[in-house]
Amino acid sequence: MAGTRALLMLENFIDGKFLPCASYIDSYDPSTGEVYCRVPDSGKEEVDAAVAAARAAFPGWAARGPQERSRALQRLADLLEEALEELARAESRDQGKTITLARTMDIPRAVQNFRFFASSILHHTSECTQMDHAGCLHYTVRAPVGIAGLISPWNLPLYLLTWKIAPAIAAGNTVIAKPSELTSVTAWMMCKLLGKAGVPPGVVNIVFGTGPRVGEALVSHPEVPLISFTGSQPTAERIMQLSAPHCKKLSLELGGKNPAIIFEDANLEECVPTTVRSSFANQGEICLSTSRIFVQKSIYSEFLKKFVEATRMWKVGIPSDPSASMGALISKAHLEKVRRYVKIARTEGARILCGEGVDQLSLPPGNQGGYFMLPTVITDIKDDSCCMKEEIFGPVTCVVPFDTEEEVIKRANSVKYGLAATVWSSSVGRVHRVAKKLQSGLVWTNCWLIRELNLPFGGMKSSGLGREGAKDSYDFFTEIKTITIKH
């Protein structure tokens, strides 16, 4: 039992120091269902202390040139890379993802985030115009905003936390970050490297705890002028309410109900394995995961047969198993929520072709209490089902047929979300045409999750506000000023 083992005890990181907390939250190993870690249950007092530290550090950090800040980010990237294996193992255990995914995606991307923004901060230019008839020269300058409040989710813990920290401090801000209380370990480990990288005390502060206690204190604090959040729409609505009296800058990335559109001329040898991966990678716990698959009728039966066969080959196993394709879901509550969607689909008359309630899940004795679920494929389901409209955020995808291009665009756009979509076709004209008509912030054609960090990332409609990327993040984390000189 967990009680017989020493639990990992995390501490807040404020003003360059690790500080204990008066109370703690249990954190569970998703692969066993047992408590293995205790996370600070922080509140307003800890947030106030972090604000004081960030306020004191801001003038000195903002005064440093981009080159000096860039060097600190590069050193931090190097240190993270040196600790890649240790971080990957910690991320896998804390979140439930496979060690392979943590080792090849999560931690390398965290390293890349710091390297990317260390470079991009050196290449921004300002605008300048002349008005000769008025004898005036106009130009713009950008300055850091101040203290940035950063709230990151549990699905890609260090990956998405560093996607916010890196551009914020590169631009000269100081930050207070709140990782998810479900996945706090790698953020705590990163704090140990900040001083070695040359990041001064108070520039990066990490306050652990829940949304209602830490998140609300951070969002409502009058000295935190901007908030970057990745998570659910209900939480984003609360953030907007709390920040409205202060007119804060907001960046909100809120997930999606992402369609894959597969036309009859698609290359199924590439399409099928990629769509299995886009549906079930990271247990389907990615905001960009495919959860609605529209297949043209002429190839529907062929695709469905191949897709179900490939899905059944997707191995569910303990996260430390290097051969596992999928690990455990984040929590018992989330597992039950995902399973409820499958039950609803069944009661609505849909068919469950594989996975939950159909196939047998085999686990070692020590992992019987873990939060595992087989990848599940649903068909014969109506577009107005909650399974086709709501973000499930688990290893469940729905496959339905369509007739025409015009029809499928309308159906793909019929949900409130608009984050990402994939289009599979060998017709260059068609993929351009369909991509333009889809209400999605990102559209991949004949691929998935190939990211160019220079370009904007974000969604339309209820998938969020704002964009992230080289220029967009720089714009968000700075204030622009226009200066006019009469000569």
Catalytic residues: 253
Q: Name residues whose C-beta falls within 8 Å of residue 349's C-beta, 6 or more positions apart in sequence.
A: 380
Displacement of CA 257 from its chain's centroid (Å) = 14
Cα–Cα dist 40/389, whole Å: 36
Cα–Cα nearest to 478, from 177, 171, 228: 171
Cα–Cα dist 330/231, whole Å: 14
Cα–Cα dist 29/9, whole Å: 14
DSSP 268-280: HHHHHHHHHHHHH
Tokens representing 468 are 């992230």
What SS3 state is found at 237? helix
Cα–Cα dist 38/40, whole Å: 7
Q: Among all chains, which residue has been given the structure tokens 């922080």?
A: 42
Going from the C-alpha of 463 to that of each of 97, 238, 326, 412, the distances in angstroms are 24, 15, 26, 14
Cα–Cα dist 390/392, whole Å: 6
**R_g over Cα of the chain:** 23
DSSP state of 424: E
